[in-house]
Structure 1
Amino acid sequence: MTTPGNITGLGVVLGSTDPEPLIEWYRAALEPLGARWEGHMLIIGRQAVIGFDRRDDVADKAAEPGRHLVNIVVRDIRAAERHFNTLGVTWVRPVEDTGGGWIFSTLLDPDGNYLQVLQGPDTP
């Protein structure tokens, strides 16, 4: 039997020159899929968070949006796709079956960061 590790979760902080519209967009995009706003961050699943920070050391738009990818795993990617389409998102990579039971997509957030939405063969 292995001993549980010391890591208990994962978080990402999105820095922005104007985080309020970014927060509004992520809440509109992810709360209907099951995320919840708590304090100053979105709780994603049981042990992951997305935080937001006002920064003056970043550009208004992501210069290299593929450098950092926010990945969300969902149970029903087609339902997520329908929801995102109601928001008028820009798809970088439309929802597609990539083989091995994985379905994959990428869209842009308002700051030009990539949000990837995945469904795996054993997505719990």
Structure 2
Amino acid sequence: MASQDNLTGLGVILGSAEPDRLVEWYRAVLEPLGARWEGHMLVIGQQSIIGFDRRDDVADTAAEPGRHMVNITVRDIRAAEQHLDSVGVKWARPVEEMGGGWIICTVLDPVGNYLQLLQGPATS
């Protein structure tokens, strides 16, 4: 049986016919919040990544943007909101409290994927 602590990170790959456009957008949105570009991917936190892949088998825009959502937790969602406004993101869901100390917001990337930011309870 595998060890209970065998998992060490999480990654998501965003496929696009124009991945450079996604790279530019995600870097502008996430690097000022603390993400860092390494090689060909954005590193989020200690052990999570967002990668980008050129694909010819995907549409120009996401047909069902809610099917896959990139979720990133932040310490200060209001500071993130100010930054997102400053770079002119398209809001799908404004910052709102969800109860239990959770605050959430959702923006659309250039091809229509959802990027969701969450701030958890202060005690978590």
Residue 105 of structure 1 is matched in structure 2 by 105
Counterpart Cα distance in 2 of 1:55 and 1:123? 41
Alignment root-mean-square deviation, CA: 1.2
**TM-score, with length taken from structure 1:** 0.95
Residue 30 of structure 2 is matched in structure 1 by 30
1:65 CA drift (Å): 0.4
Does 1:15 find its partner at 2:20?
Answer: no
Counterparts of residues 61-76 of structure 1 (less than 5 Å): 61-76=61-76
The amino acid of 1:97's aligned partner reads E
Does 1:58 find its partner at 2:63?
Answer: no
Counterpart Cα distance in 2 of 1:123 and 1:34? 21
Counterpart Cα distance in 2 of 1:78 and 1:123? 18
**TM-score, with length taken from structure 2:** 0.95
Structure 2 unaligned segments of length 5 or more: list them: none
Residue 114 of structure 1 is matched in structure 2 by 114
Structure 1 runs of 4+ with >3 Å offset: none
Counterpart Cα distance in 1 of 2:87 and 2:32? 12
1:122 CA drift (Å): 3.8
1:123 CA drift (Å): 7.0
Alpha carbons 1:75, 1:123 under 8 Å: kept: no
Counterpart Cα distance in 1 of 2:11 and 2:79? 25
The amino acid of 2:49's aligned partner reads V
Counterpart Cα distance in 2 of 1:13 and 1:93? 23
CA 1:123–1:14 in structure 2 vs 1: closer, same or farther (change >3 Å)? farther
The amino acid of 1:7's aligned partner reads L
Alpha carbons 1:66, 1:114 under 8 Å: kept: yes
CA 1:38–1:87 in structure 2 vs 1: closer, same or farther (change >3 Å)? same
1:49 CA drift (Å): 0.1
